[in-house]
Chains A and B, each alone.
Chain A
Amino acid sequence: MRHLITPLDFTVSELTQLFDLADDMREHQAQYAHLCEGKKLATLFYEPSTRTRLSIETAMLNLGGRTMGFSDAGSSSAAKGESVADTIRTISCFADIAAIRHPKEGAATVAAQFSRIPVINAGDGGHQHPTQTLTDLLTIRNLKGRLSSLTIGLCGDLKFGRTVHSLVNALARYQDIRFVFISPPELRMPDYITEYLDDQNIPYEEYIKLEDVIGRLDLLYMTRVQRERFFNEEDYVRLRNFYILDAAKMSLARNDMYILHPLPRVNEISVEVDNDPRAAYFRQVQYGVYVRMALIATLLELI
């Protein structure tokens, strides 16, 4: 039995298979419409999420399966003090596969340790969000036709942004990847990520101004400064408006530089950019459904 706790749980060749399956599901959706008939997905969401929960549930419904679960800790037995270990042991008796989101880092690791069914980490605090990473990789592969030989800019909150940490670790396994980290000094990429890149001889540069480097990028991954990651409201207010991507900045970018964003967006991408053909963040949401379909089918060993 397999779980998805971090993006590195799958090898590069396993990811290629997963993405091939996701592409096939996108092209031949009807062929997979009954694949999960009789199977149940439990969504255990201890903190609010619209996109990820609905995306995973949509993926299961598209495959003909059913879904159940809770969408905040208040309506679960966690409110009575039940541990993650006990919850997953119980859910293992009801469902065939579970997706868990929890505010504490490592919660999905604990769930997988005690589970009798495959566990999908749907986000554990500021730690990992592997289905977002799979979404990002599938999107990049479809937009650029490859996952190698790319210069990728990551902009915004690089300190607390779990999606960027996971994405860097995942992309670092492909050939000829160059990273450009764009952030205010307070939100720069953590040392353990840059040390890892140094050890692997993977080139990266750090910038403060987006305008200085946007013209050299193949892809720009924007992130939101997240209020919930700050203990101090003052710091949040000071940093949330640091980057706003608008039409003027996009005029400096290449014609084939796509913009990705894990969403939700607040104000870091101006709405005037939405109609730019390079704005790919809503297409990214659609790819997220296909990659989660492929993931569910793979973890349930139905393929």
Chain B
Amino acid sequence: MLNVGKIEEGFVLDHIKAGKSLEIYHHLGLDKMDCTVAIIKNARSNAMGKKDILKVECDINTLNLDVLAFVDPNITINVIKNGEIIEKKMLPLPKQVKGIIRCTNPRCISTIEQELPQIFYLADEHRAIYRCRYCDAAYNPNGITG
């Protein structure tokens, strides 16, 4: 088993779907931050078989994790301070998702207008439905619906 040292302050993002950690690394903007990050891929997991883990050493007030609930609501967020877990966070779905997904409705203005930010808003919290800010088409990982 691979060992990665403890962190003093930051986050341990556990139960990431195996192979998805790099995607999350980019969604959180960690590539643009000057902090220590450990990416653990395909770690053994009793519940999931395999999982990814991200350890991020940073000031816990500097990282915006809102997008995680959109990307994968099953991720466990452990908040670390003074080397100890002080909180296990459950994040609500973000009201808005910007620059994460693209509208695939061929009739949407965002498919032709240059440099338009891709923005989706949470239209139905209960059903976790996001809609394009421009054309209102619902986002579906397999294509736009309704």
A105 touches B146 (CB 8 A): no
Q: Please, which residue of chain B has its CB at the minimum distance from the CB of A107? A: B109
Which residues of the other chain, A, contact B132 by a CB distance below 8 angstroms? 106
Distance, CA A70 to CA B114, complexed state (A): 22
Given the known A-B contacts A84-B109, A126-B107, are A106 and B146 also in contact in the complex, defined by CB atoms under 8 Å? no
Tell yes or no: A14 within 8 A of B by CB. Answer: no
Tell yes or no: A264 within 8 A of B by CB. Answer: no
B107 touches A104 (CB 8 A): yes
Distance, CA A102 to CA B105, complexed state (A): 15
A124 touches B109 (CB 8 A): yes
Distance, CA A109 to CA B127, complexed state (A): 25
Given the known A-B contacts A127-B135, A192-B138, are A102 and B146 also in contact in the complex, defined by CB atoms under 8 Å? no
Tell yes or no: A110 within 8 A of B by CB. Answer: yes
Q: A72 to nearest B CB, angstroms? A: 17
A110 touches B146 (CB 8 A): no
B134 touches A105 (CB 8 A): yes
Contact indicator per residue, chain A 52-86, by CB within 8 Å of chain B (1) or not (0): 00000000000000000000000000000001110
Tell yes or no: A27 within 8 A of B by CB. Answer: no
Tell yes or no: A191 within 8 A of B by CB. Answer: yes
For window 82-117 of chain B, which residues contact chain A by CB distance below 8 Å? 105, 107-114, 116
Which residues of the other chain, B, contact A125 by a CB distance below 8 angstroms? 107, 135
Q: By the criterion of a CB under 8 Å from any partner CB, how many residues of chain B are at the interface?
A: 22
B109 touches A192 (CB 8 A): no
A109 touches B146 (CB 8 A): no
B113 touches A85 (CB 8 A): yes
For window 185-205 of chain A, which residues contact chain B by CB distance below 8 Å? 190-192, 195
Which residues of the other chain, A, contact B112 by a CB distance below 8 angstroms? 104
Q: Please, which residue of chain B has its CB at the minimum distance from the CB of A194? A: B146
A83 touches B113 (CB 8 A): yes
A109 touches B107 (CB 8 A): no
A106 touches B114 (CB 8 A): no
Quick one: which of B109, B123, B124, B138 contacts A106, CB cutoff 8 A?
B109
Q: A109 to nearest B CB, angstroms? A: 5
Distance, CA A85 to CA B117, complexed state (A): 12
Q: B75 to nearest A CB, angstroms? A: 28
Which residues of the other chain, B, contact A126 by a CB distance below 8 angstroms? 107
Quick one: which of A85, A105, A191 contacts B135, CB cutoff 8 A?
A105
Q: B133 to nearest A CB, angstroms? A: 7
Which residues of the other chain, A, contact B109 by a CB distance below 8 angstroms? 84, 102, 104-107, 109-110, 124
Q: B143 to nearest A CB, angstroms? A: 14
Q: B121 to nearest A CB, angstroms? A: 12
Give me 27 A-to-B residue pairs in the complex whose CB atoms sit less than 8 angstroms apart, sorted by A's number.
Answer: A83-B113, A83-B114, A85-B113, A85-B116, A102-B109, A104-B107, A104-B109, A104-B113, A104-B135, A105-B105, A105-B108, A105-B109, A105-B135, A106-B134, A106-B135, A106-B136, A107-B113, A107-B134, A109-B134, A110-B109, A110-B116, A125-B107, A126-B107, A127-B107, A190-B146, A192-B123, A195-B127
Residues of chain B at the chain A interface (Cβ within 8 Å): 105, 107-114, 116, 123-124, 127, 129, 132-138, 146
Residues of chain A at the chain B interface (Cβ within 8 Å): 83-85, 102-107, 109-110, 124-127, 190-192, 195
